[in-house]
Amino acid sequence: MRQVLSNYCAKNKLPESRTLKLSREMNSTFADDTINTFTWQQVQWHWWVILQVCLAIVGFFGNSIVIIIYAMKNRLDRATSFFIRALAVADLITSVNFLPRRIALSTPDSLNGHLYCKLVASNFLLWLSIVAAIFTLTTISVERYIAVVHPIKYRIYFSKTLQPKIVVACIWLTSFVINSHSFFVTYRDPKTGACLVGYQPPYLQMVFGTLVFVIEFFLPVVIMITTQLITIDRLLKQAKLTKGARTTTINQTKGDLANSQMMRTRRKVLKMLFVVIVTFIICWTPDQVAFLLFNFNYFKAVDFLGTDLYHILVSVAFVNSCANPFIYAASNSQFRASFRRIFYCKREIQPLVSVTVDT
């Protein structure tokens, strides 16, 4: 099971490390009628909670705008556009679930209480959308690689509208399966009513921690970096060939002009995707490395959880969920034009040429 430092309270199925400790200490004070009801701890407005709200709001509105722009008169049958919108949906869900909420110090011994521990206290939906976003970004990188390096295979795999939808559905299903293991290690303490996590035997924490790090972070990063490097290399070679061909003839045919336009479009998309991937790596690497070290007991929870460093790592990691709309705006003039038209209530929205040209 994942014990992610970016939200240890959630992913370790603990509302908060200090709250969990408090819940255990209150064991003798809970009467039977108390632990059969929800006992709540209200949100405490520390600086990191305020920052959490700000990130969630920015992520919600930013990704909503991305979804609207890519939905209005855009060629959603294009795989890249569809995947970008799917990534925005995942980031939007992440932003909503990142909003702070009150914490249950105790839960009733009922279906609602057990479901709260397994779904709410564990932040299952939050991590479901995070993993889906990571896999979607990886898919975009692979899709661009196939489009440039294996164009014939690309027409087979991504030419039909239904195929990208099937891919996205498989991404969410895979994310659900990967995160479902948390259901088996999360439980309600019958004495205190607190939501706890337990590993039996204890070394499973290291096993699960390693698997989560590899499957949900390390492998996607390796795939994204590898496909990006190969794609960039192929585009550079194609650019040299195109430039060499131009020097041998004065007049360009319409086909040559179309091919040149397609090459420029691919480079723009690749640059934008490169920035998105680099942002993801920068935001999540510190948190994931700390998570791995934590699961191998390189430092104790009481010395790290709840500290300023811990909350900084959490905040930096979740910046990734609200950063992509700004990247699109900075690198895509058509996106900026569509954004302005939304707020000026213009009827016509220009298509995002840089991500919809046929490959």
* Residue 340: alpha-carbon gap to chain centroid: 26
Residue 76: both structure tokens together: 């959603």
Is residue 127 a contact partner of residue 10, using CB atoms and an 8 Å limit? yes
CA max distance for the chain: 90
Residue 254, burial from CB neighbour count under 10 angstroms (0-12, 13-18, 19+) = exposed
Q: Which residue has the higher pLDDT, 278 or 252?
A: 278
Scan for tokens 């299952």, then name that residue: 124
Residue 119: both structure tokens together: 């779904």
- The pLDDT of residue 14 is 40
Confidence band of 252 (pLDDT split at 50, 70, 90): low
Q: Which residue has the higher pLDDT, 63 or 341?
A: 63
- The pLDDT of residue 253 is 57
Confidence band of 173 (pLDDT split at 50, 70, 90): very high
255 has pLDDT over 60: no
What are the distances in angstroms from CA 359 to CA 138, 168, 171, 339?
A: 19, 20, 23, 25
CA 90 – CA 133 distance, rounded (Å): 5
Helices (H), the chain: 8-11, 17-25, 47-71, 79-97, 111-115, 124-149, 151-158, 162-179, 182-185, 204-213, 219-246, 254-295, 308-331, 333-343, 353-356
Residue 286, burial from CB neighbour count under 10 angstroms (0-12, 13-18, 19+) = middle
- The pLDDT of residue 261 is 63
* Residue 176: alpha-carbon gap to chain centroid: 14
In this prediction, residues 112-132 reach a mean pLDDT of: 89
203 has pLDDT over 50: yes
- The pLDDT of residue 161 is 65
- The pLDDT of residue 224 is 96
Is residue 105 a contact partner of residue 41, using CB atoms and an 8 Å limit? yes
CA 359 – CA 356 distance, rounded (Å): 9
Is residue 93 a contact partner of residue 125, using CB atoms and an 8 Å limit? yes
Whole-number average pLDDT of the chain? 78
Q: Which residue has the higher pLDDT, 253 or 343?
A: 343
The string of pLDDT tens digits covering residues 303-323 is: 776 788 888 888 899 999 999
What are the distances in angstroms from CA 313 to CA 167, 299, 310, 318?
A: 31, 15, 5, 9
CA 288 – CA 249 distance, rounded (Å): 53
Q: Does the structural domain 5-356 have CATH classification 1.20.1070.10?
A: yes
The string of pLDDT tens digits covering residues 108-120 is: 888 888 889 888 8
Three-state secondary structure of 107-174 = CCCCHHHHHHHHHHHCCHHHHHHHHHHHHHHHHHHHHHHHHHHCHHHHHHHHCCCHHHHHHHHHHHHH
- The pLDDT of residue 10 is 38
pTM for this predicted structure: 0.81
Q: Backbone phi, then psi, for 67, in 5-degree steps? A: -60, -45
Residue 21: both structure tokens together: 């400790």
CA 325 – CA 90 distance, rounded (Å): 13
Residue 324, burial from CB neighbour count under 10 angstroms (0-12, 13-18, 19+) = buried
142 has pLDDT over 70: yes
- The pLDDT of residue 24 is 42
Q: Backbone phi, then psi, for 106, in 5-degree steps? A: -145, 150
279 has pLDDT over 90: yes
Residue 180: both structure tokens together: 């479902």
CA 254 – CA 27 distance, rounded (Å): 78
Residue 9: both structure tokens together: 């309270």
* Domain ranges (residues) in the chain: 5-356
Residues 6 or more apart whose Cβ sits within 8 Å of residue 211:
none
